[in-house]
Amino acid sequence: MPAAWLEAARDLEIGQTRRIEHDCGQGKALLISRSDRGYSAYCFRCPDGQNKLFHPADPEPLAVRIARLKARREAEERVTTSCALPSPREYNLREWPEPAVGWLLKAGLGAQEIKDLGAYYTKTLGRVVIPVREGGHDVFWIARSIDGTLPKYLCPTQGRQDIVAKYGHDGGPPVLTEDILSAYKISLAGYTSWCLLGTKATDKLVARLIKRGKGAIAWLDPDWKVKNKPGQANAAKLIRRLNLLGVPTVNVLSGADPKNHTRKEIQDYVSTALSSLQGRLPQPE
């Protein structure tokens, strides 16, 4: 029979850790973890040489793997038929797999900012879910894969045309981004940002830009390492469309996705774009 710590570790997902009790004394002194290599345990109380345990990963039978992937696909098909947030919802970062936390940390977000964003991990999908809110209500969501499962992003099949994912104060010209983390990161740097949830603007978003009358800044992914740079090709189409519709728009071409820049770098890029945009906006008489 496997040791108690190993049975507990097998309940973890890859990248997760947990503190449990050890038979060397009272209190949760044993830290167990699971990686793609196997299961580990470290006791903070046992003497050196006796405080580290390891068990290699269990081989996954082909039938089990097929069943697991089939169950996940079925779960994806169920949840994408509705804009209701997927369940179960785990908000405690300590219970998330390490890659899930790492994705948000890489974007420079702290625990409080992750909480404010409303992000959570759902075991059923093996993804980080980020809700889209309007008027204080959750109206849409995107779910990001953290284990290489495709598609990388999952979202409801209906409803995208009806929302404008806005972040930050409702002030100057909005910075238009491809993804939510980039829009949120820009808002933390002090600017208004709207997420396109892709590279194309919906009719509703364009209508709001026209009514707003303050122009826009397009900051899509640079795609330096991708052939033909689709992000920038789409940025050019977006800017051309908005300009033709009377929404003066300027482009930001940076060294990385917006979410991967520091807040100071974001401020530098946006302030430069605002200066360029200012000369193209109608001046008050």
Task: Decide if 232 contacts 252 (C-beta within 8 A).
Answer: no
Spatial contact of 220 and 178, defined as CB atoms under 8 Å apart: yes
The tens digit of pLDDT for each residue in 133-145 reads: 988 899 999 999 9
Distances from the Cα of 67 to the Cαs of 9, 74, 150, 284, in angstroms?
21, 11, 17, 65
Angle between helices 263-278 and 180-188 (to 10 degrees): 90
CATH fold, domain 164-285, is Dna Topoisomerase Vi A Subunit; Chain: A, domain 2 (3.40.1360)
Mean pLDDT, to the nearest integer, of 248-268?
A: 95
159 vs 202: CA distance, rounded Å: 11
Chain region(s) in the chain for CATH 3.90.980.10: 68-162
What local confidence, expressed as pLDDT, does residue 37 receive? 86
Strand spans (E) along 69-136: 120-122, 127-134
pLDDT band, very low/low/confident/very high, at 224 (cuts 50, 70, 90): low
Residue 284 has pLDDT above 70, yes or no: no
Check if the beta carbon of residue 39 is closer than 8 Å to that of residue 54.
yes
CB distance 142 to 132 below 8 Å: yes
Residue 129 is predicted with a pLDDT of 98
pLDDT above 70 (res 56): yes
Q: Please, is 107 exposed, middle or buried when counting C-beta atoms within 10 Å of its C-beta (0-12, 13-18, 19+)?
A: buried
pTM: 0.80
**CA 230 to centroid of chain Cα atoms:** 20
Q: What is the pLDDT of residues 106-159, one digit of tens each?
A: 999 999 999 999 999 999 999 999 999 988 899 999 999 988 788 999 999 999
Give tens-digit pLDDT for 162-177.
999 999 987 889 999 9
For CATH 3.40.1360.10, the residue range(s) in the chain are 164-285
Tokens of 1: 């029979």
CA dist 190 and 172 (Å) reads: 11
The two three-digit tokens of residue 248, written as one number:
């003066």
pLDDT band at residue 227 using 50, 70 and 90 as cut-offs: low
User: Residue 215 above 70 pLDDT?
Assistant: yes
Q: What pLDDT is attached to residue 148?
A: 78
DSSP SS3 for 47: coil
**258 in Cβ contact with 220 (< 8 Å):** no
Give the per-residue pLDDT at 50: 83
pLDDT (0 to 100) of residue 229? 65
**68-162: CATH topology:** DNA primase DNAg catalytic core, N-terminal domain (3.90.980)
d(CA 152, CA 122) in angstroms, rounded, equals: 15
Query: What 3-state DSSP class applies to 139?
Result: strand
Residue with the larger pLDDT of the pair 50 and 196: 196
More confident residue, 133 or 232: 133
The DSSP-derived string for 234-265 is HHHHHHHHHHHTT--EEE---SS-GGGS-HHH
Residues 6+ apart with CB under 8 A from 69: none
Give the least confident one: 52-56, 58-62, 149-153, 204-208. Answer: 58-62
